[in-house]
Structure formats: C-alpha cells, structure tokens
Amino acid sequence: MAKQRFSPVAIPDKVKVSLSDHVFKVQGPLGNLEMNVNSKVIVEIKDNEILIINRENSKDSSSQQGTTRSLIRNMVTGVIKEFEKTLIIQGTGYRAQLGGSNLQLFLGFSKPKTVIMPKQIKCEIKVVKSAEKGDLTYITIKGISKQLVGDVAAEIRKTRKPDPYKHKGVRYAKEFIRKKVGKRAIVQT
C-alpha cells in the first residue's frame, strides 16, 4: 500500500459522510450526493477527516487519488454551499425565458432552442438594459453538484457559441471574447 500524498478533506459539522461497497455518500443541509469510488484508491473516514490513499504504487493509481480527492471535496462543499455559473446572452433580439422546467433560448433561429433542466438545477434569468451593448440576459445556473452545473452551462453555451466578429451569442460571464475585424477591401492606387 502506498502512502498518502494529498492533505485530507475536512468534514464540516453539518455534513454526514458514509462509505459502503465502494459508494461514497454525503448528506448536508442542501441535499445528498453519492459517488462510486475507483478501485485503485482507498477512502477512509477518521476524526472528521476523509483520507484518500493509493491502493498501489502506480501512475494510474496516483492520478485516481487526486481525482477522487477533488470529487469528494466538491461534494462536501456542494452540500453546504451551492455552485453557480453565470452565462450572458448578447445580441439583438436574443433572449431567454423559463417554460416550466425547461429553458427556452431565442437566438436568431427559426425555432427557439430548448434546454431541459435537471431537477437538481435551479435557473435564474435577469435582463440588464445597456446603451452600448444592447440588452444583456444573464442566466445563473445553481446546484449542489459541480459537475452537473458545469454540464448544463456548457449545454446552454453550445446552443449559440459567441461570435468574435459580431460579438453575439452565449458566453460565460468571466469569458473574454476578443473582437476580430472582418475582411476589408484593398484600395488600389
């Protein structure tokens, strides 16, 4: 058995963790999460800490150790404080609206694009009027699973990727799109 390389994950007071048959479960004030633990690592719960240890001394086992630790840390954080991602819809006539549990995106196509929201995900829409950029629609995705929040945000973004020439489309709030200059006619003298 190899030694532990990473620092242990602390268990907060409001969180309960359990491990049975390679299934790691986390319960907290915001909900429950569970994950299958890879067979190349050992997960131990001791003294309000979660230890992740290599089962063998190999490169694959040590990479699984780091991945498992990150996933467990995200699960423990998620049941206490929700993860969120914000997207911005920019473009003339581009908008979004909630229809039941679905998100409808009007992005210049003949029909609106529909993104089905999972039950664990909350979606908020806010429209900001701006003189220089037109109307900006902010979509905030919230949930306790970091992976699910990222997957839903990526699915929304790929409905209309940001265009660097026209500065239109769906982008992440912290994403910077450099404006490109289009083709110009060459003036001959």
Q: How far apart are CA 126 and CA 176, in angstroms?
A: 20
Q: In what order do the strands lie in the sheet with 134-143?
A: 122-130, 134-143, 83-90, 169-172
**The predicted structure's pLDDT at residue 173:** 92
Q: Which residues of the chain have pLDDT under 50?
A: none
pLDDT tens for 166-181 read 889 999 999 888 888 8
**The predicted structure's pLDDT at residue 185:** 63
Q: How far apart are CA 80 and CA 184, in angstroms?
A: 54
Residue 110: burial class (beta carbons within 10 Å; 0-12, 13-18, 19+): exposed
Residue 4: burial class (beta carbons within 10 Å; 0-12, 13-18, 19+): middle
* Fold that domain 83-172 belongs to in CATH: Outer Surface Protein A; domain 3 (3.90.930)
Provide CATH code, domain 9-78: 3.90.930.12
Do 9-78 and 83-172 come out as alike in CATH topology? yes
pLDDT tens for 107-117 read 989 999 999 99
Q: Where are the domains of the chain?
A: 9-78, 83-172
**The predicted structure's pLDDT at residue 56:** 84
- Helix axes 146-157 and 59-78, enclosed angle (nearest 10): 90
Q: pTM, whole model, 2 decimals?
A: 0.85
